[in-house]
Amino acid sequence: MAQWEVNAPVQGQRTYGATTVDRAQYDVGLRAHMLRVYNYMASGLALSGIVALVLFSTSLGSIFFKIGVTPSGAQRLIGLNVLGWIALFAPVVLILIASFRQAQMSVGSARLFYWAIVATFGIGLAPVLFVYTGASVARTFFVTAAAFAALSLYGYTTRRSLSGFGTFLFMGLIGILIAGVVNIFLASSMLHFMISAAGVLIFAGLTAYDTQAIKEQYSEAYGSDVQEKVAIFGALSLYLDFVNLFQFLLAFLGDRD
């Protein structure tokens, strides 16, 4: 985390590197930066939701999914076709590329990757609408939004450094990914429950951790021309936290069709 050095003789001013910055000016900039991050994140969630809803409610869903019909006439998800599997793993590939190329990317390229990632995530979220009732999806979304807001606010306002939790949360994330792959073959309901519970805790922690990290990244990028790119990648981190928290909560709160 970039540290302020209080060397300025004037009260209310602090020295960052070789630049003396008025604290009020810095705080205004930080609030504007966080608002930009949340706007990007909210727009990404909206785009993902629109993509998922379109695929669920129109014939376009058959491009990615094998869809059947129940005796009552309702649509039933049978599985994914080839394009569906490609779309499912596309966000992972795009995120890896963006991570490795982040320093070299222009702002325009960062935006393009961000919108591509959230759009393809929307394809992966569409099966949720086939599996769970609309009411339970909406209920879980609002529960997730409330929890996310509280956790992100904590990460923004706390004076306690959360950097020590980073390694623990990362190891936990790797653990649930491995357990999820193993459970594909075991199909254990108990293991699925344990993975979901661990996922809720891990992404709750990551929400607070990433929010504080975004504040630190703003401090490091203050006064430079990379603030917009920092905001985009910060929004991507929070977007991933929200979506994963939503999916794990849905395992507990969702009612299946």
The confidence score (pLDDT) of residue 15 equals 47
Evaluate the CA torsion angle 233, 48, 199, 144 in order and state its sign.
positive
Q: Which residues of the chain have pLDDT under 70?
A: 1-21, 72-73, 223-225
Residues paired with residue 66 on neighbouring β-strands, in sequence order: 79
Residue 47 one-letter amino acid: L
What contacts 52, CB < 8 A, 6 or more positions away? 122, 123, 125, 126, 128, 129
- Are 235 and 44 in contact by the 8 Å Cβ rule? The answer is yes
Rounded Cα gap, residues 147 and 162, in angstroms:
18
Matching residue, tokens 């929070």: 238
- pLDDT at position 4 is 37
> So what's the pLDDT on residue 20?
52
Q: What is the pLDDT of residue 223?
A: 66
> Mapped to the 3 state alphabet, what secondary structure does 21-35 carry?
EEHHHHHHHHHHHHH
> Where does 23-165 have alpha helices with state H?
23-57, 82-101, 107-131, 134-157
Q: What single DSSP character describes residue 172? A: H
pLDDT value, residue 73: 66
Distance CA 95, CA 90 (A): 9
- The 10s digit of each residue's pLDDT in 54-106 is 999 998 999 999 888 777 667 788 888 999 999 989 999 999 999 888 888 99
